Every structure is written in C-alpha cells, then in structure tokens.
Amino acid sequence: MKDGLALTESAVRDHVHTLLCDLLLRDSLPADHDLRESGALNSVMFLELFVRLETEFGIQLTGADVTQDNFRTAESIARFVCAKRADG
Amino acid sequence: MGAELTLTDCTPADHAEICALQEGLWAGGPAGNQAYLEWKYHANPYLDERYTVLARSAPADGSQLLGMVGVFGSSWERNGRRFTLPCLTDTIITSEHRNSPLFHEMVDEVLARLRRDGIPWLLDFGDQGTVPAMLFRGWRQVGVWGQSVLTRPADAWHRKPWDEVPATRGARSGALLTPSRTPDLDAMTEVVRDVPADGRLRVARDRAYFHWRAAHPLATYYYLVARSETGRAEGYLVGHRSGVDTDQGPTPTTVVECEARTPEIHADLIRLAHEALPGTRVLMWTRDLTEAAAAVLADMGAAFIEPTGRPTQDRPLPSLLIRDTGARPVSAALADVDGLDAWDFRGVSGRGWR
C-alpha cells in the first residue's frame, strides 16, 4: 500500500474503513460513526491504528496530527491520510 | 456512561478488592498491594485518595469492581511558591471492559471533581502507548524527552551487593561517595535546599517528600551521598528497582534522582551508580543532564535515545501529558505548564520513584 502513490481517495477511504473494522471487530462501520463519542477505540487500539496508518500508507504521524478533526470518523481519517500523503 | 455501571469514590472498604484487581499491575501479593495502596493514597503528604475513581457494575450485578483510575499528589515549587498537582496513575480495567469507553469515563469523572474543587491541571507521566488516545480526548503533550540506556552483560554478576560497595572518591571532584540502602534525609534536603532554582517548576523535595518516597513498599532503592573533606553533603543519587524483582531480574534499574552542587560531583555520582547499581539495564533521563554527566555516560557506552516526535517510535521514552480541567483562575506561576521549557528536571532523572 505504501508504494501506491496513485492511490485514489476512494481507495484510501475503503482501506481506512477496513482497518477500523479490523480494530473494532465489526463487519462494517458508518463513515460518520463518531469515534470519540462512542469511545470505542481504547489506548491500545489507537496506537495500533497509528502503526497501521504509518505502515500501510507510508506516512509518519506526530502528536500534533492527533486532532478531533482528523480522527473523529473513518471519513475524516481518510481525508487526513490523503492530505498527509499529498504533503509527502 | 452505560446504565449498568456506576462511578464511585475509593474508600478503605474497597481496598481488598482493588488489591486483588491490581495484582497483575502491582504484583505485590495481597499484603504488598495493600501496603502500596496505603502508601500511595493515604501516606502521600500532598493528597489523599479523594480523586481516585472506581467503576462498579450495577447492584443487581453484584457491584463488582470493574476498573480504577488512581490520582496521587505531587508537589512542585517555583519562585518560592509550592503547588500540589494531581497525577493520573494506577489505571486498570477488567478484561471484559477493555474495549469500552470505561477508562475515559473514569477520567472524565476525575476531571469533573478537580474542576469542582478549582484544580486546573491533571498530569500524566504515564506510558507513551496511551498518547494518541489521550490527545484525542483533549490532553496536551507537554513533551517527550531523551533517555540513556546502559546495557551490561547478563553475566556481569561479579558486582558486590550494594551494601558491600565500598565508599569511593570521585575522580573529578574528590568527594567521598558512600552507598547506602537507607536515605540520608539530612544530606539530601541540605543539597536540594542549596542548589539554586532557575525559575522553572521543579519537584519540591523536603524531609516529608524523601521520607514518603523511601517508604514505597514495592520498590527497592539504592542511595549514594557525596561528601567533601569537611563532611558537607555535596550531592546525592537515588537508584530504583522494582521491589518485586531481584537484583538479577529482568526489570531495568532507573536513576530516579541525582542532585549535586557541581557538575563534577554530578558526574562522579552517575559514574559510580552506573558501575555499581544492579541490573542489566540502567536508565536515566537525559533532559537537563550536565555535559560532564553526558560525557561519563558516553564513555561508559550508554546509548542515548532521543525523541522523534512520532508516538509510534517514542513509546519507550519518558513524557508528560497535561489536561486542563477547565477550573479557573489559573495561578500565573502555572500558566505555561503545558510547555516543556517550564519544567526543571535537573535533579529528577527518572519517572517518579515508582
């Protein structure tokens, strides 16, 4: 995945969805499911999410990236990943 | 919060149940865990257990203990004023609730209580692995800082027990460095009193602090005191190991405090500690370390691990998170505590004498 520089936004969205479903042991997740409100991502899962975003999308995440705007929903995570990849 | 859970205070009637639940974390057995609980939340000179929160199942389900977040007191000083700042600690959640919002619900209850009492900040010197989740919940990262690690061969057990390490003259300072298993409260308080503050927040260390810290029932401490020819206390160092491990066991040894009147004495204390302390790995924070001490560590072959800014990479490193509770007003002396430059770690070189 990290070499897929031409990855479309749609593909990123699908991959983030799959990744979150894996972490939350769910078959599907609404794109607007509020991760903060649900409290579903515990500390270990959040770190795992960070590791997988870094390895699977070839990006590097800092503490400053962790905002509610970026990580509130699968949709916002996908937008953030696309922007991060575009920043190089 | 789910209707099936209640958040409660922590009272002595809860202690036996807490100790059983925390055995996986504290590993002290019933008596040791009970002693730890008493020490950390009753004998603490700054704060009792009033902000510690428990989660229990509904009475119909037996009011079983499901989780705990502990809050203990730490005391800091700046420009002649002292401040008690609560620290988040000792968090545990039963396995069946680990994939739930329970932890954050308990922390939110802690924050509500602090806000109610006008306390503006909650600190967390905890595990870096929790950083992304904490930031997502509104915590701020004050900073991550570097650490040295000296790794010794596993068969290096020719060392004498700490009690038998002879007093040694420091090569740089000529001060006499004396190992001990008990704290010299007079010497330690004298050194701290005489080392000038530099305008940053530093741990307030007095007899009450040292006495309380040394009484940690699940820790083993190793002390060094440096004295001049005249007998004046010139510096001290405290090493820590888990009290539920042996000297030869796998847990690291941490230099938790090292304070000295001069960089030469500081460097001498650090060299002897790294030569003579037990353990296959000796850790020490390197933020605010003197150049002389850094040179000693480098000479001894220590690795210096610096933060990258990436939580996935910085997990082994020390860090500080802070949460604004929303209580106002905030003392002007604490207005900048969310920046690492406000914190003075010169004399405190390891996480909290755990």
Q: What is the pLDDT of residues B5-53, one digit of tens each?
A: 899 999 989 999 999 999 988 899 999 999 999 999 999 999 999 999 9
Interface with chain A: mutation pick from B98, B105, B136, B141, highest number of A CBs within 10 Å: B136
Q: Which of B133-142, B157-166, B248-257 has the lowest mean pLDDT?
A: B157-166
Give the list of residues 6+ apart from residue B213 with CB closer than 8 angstroms, or none.
Answer: B353
The reply to whether B351 falls in a domain is: no
- Per the structure, the count of domains in chain B is 2
Whether the Cβ atoms of residue B200 and residue B337 lie closer than 8 Å to each other: no
Pair (B163, B246) in one structural domain: yes
Residue B268 belongs to domain spanning: 147-305
Report the pLDDT value the prediction gives residue A38, as an integer from 0 to 100: 84
- Round the average pLDDT of chain B to a whole number and report it: 93
B 108-167 → A contacts, CB under 8 A: 129-137, 141
B353 pLDDT more than 50:
no
Q: How far are the Cα atoms of B179, B181, B262, B349 from residue B194, in angstroms, in the given order?
A: 22, 24, 11, 18
Comparing CB atoms, the residue among A63, A68, A71 nearest residue B309 is: A63
Q: Do B136 and A44 touch (CB under 8 A)?
A: no
Pair (B165, B279) in one structural domain: yes
The reply to whether B354 falls in a domain is: no
Query: CATH number of the domain that B108 lies in?
Result: 3.40.630.30
pLDDT per residue as tens digits for the range B71-113: 999 999 999 999 999 999 999 899 888 778 898 899 999 999 9
Pair (B97, B119) in one structural domain: yes
pLDDT per residue as tens digits for the range B199-251: 999 999 999 999 999 999 999 999 999 999 999 999 999 999 999 998 888 99
CA B214 to chain centre: 12
Please check whether the domain covering A9-87 is classified as CATH 1.10.10.1100. no
Report the pLDDT value the prediction gives residue B350, as an integer from 0 to 100: 86
CA distance linking residue B202 with residue B214, whole number of Å: 19
Interface with chain A: mutation pick from B135, B145, B320, B340, highest number of A CBs within 10 Å: B135
| Shortest Cα–Cα distance, B108 to chain A (Å) | 12
Pair (B44, B18) in one structural domain: yes
B 301-340 → A contacts, CB under 8 A: 309-312, 315
Pair (B183, B324) in one structural domain: no
The reply to whether B352 falls in a domain is: no
Domain boundaries, chain A: 9-87
Tokens of B301: 């072959």
Pair (B222, B324) in one structural domain: no
Pair (B137, B174) in one structural domain: no
Report the pLDDT value the prediction gives residue B354, as an integer from 0 to 100: 47
pLDDT per residue as tens digits for the range B254-296: 999 999 999 999 999 999 999 999 999 999 999 999 999 999 9
What was the ipTM of the complex prediction? 0.88
Report the pLDDT value the prediction gives residue B248, as an integer from 0 to 100: 83
Whether the Cβ atoms of residue B90 and residue B70 lie closer than 8 Å to each other: yes
How many CB pairs (< 8 A) connect A and B? 67
Pair (B60, B43) in one structural domain: yes
Interface with chain B: mutation pick from A47, A55, A71, highest number of B CBs within 10 Å: A47
| Shortest Cα–Cα distance, B194 to chain A (Å) | 38
| Shortest Cα–Cα distance, B140 to chain A (Å) | 9
pLDDT per residue as tens digits for the range A44-65: 899 999 999 999 999 999 999 9
Q: How many CB atoms sit inside 10 A of residue B158's CB? A: 5
Report the pLDDT value the prediction gives residue B32, as an integer from 0 to 100: 95
Given pLDDT bands bounded at 50, 70 and 90, which one contains residue A6?
low
The reply to whether B230 falls in a domain is: yes
Pair (B152, B202) in one structural domain: yes
Pair (B136, B108) in one structural domain: yes
CA distance linking residue B217 with residue B34, whole number of Å: 9
Q: Which of A5-9, B35-39, B325-329 has the lowest mean pLDDT?
A: A5-9
Pair (B281, B299) in one structural domain: yes
Contacts of B104 in chain A (CB under 8 A): 39
Order across the sheet with B219-227: list the strands: B168-169, B176-180, B219-227, B233-242, B253-260, B281-285, B147-151, B303-305
Q: Which of A20-24, A55-59, A77-81, B99-103 has the lowest mean pLDDT?
A: B99-103
Pair (B103, B156) in one structural domain: no
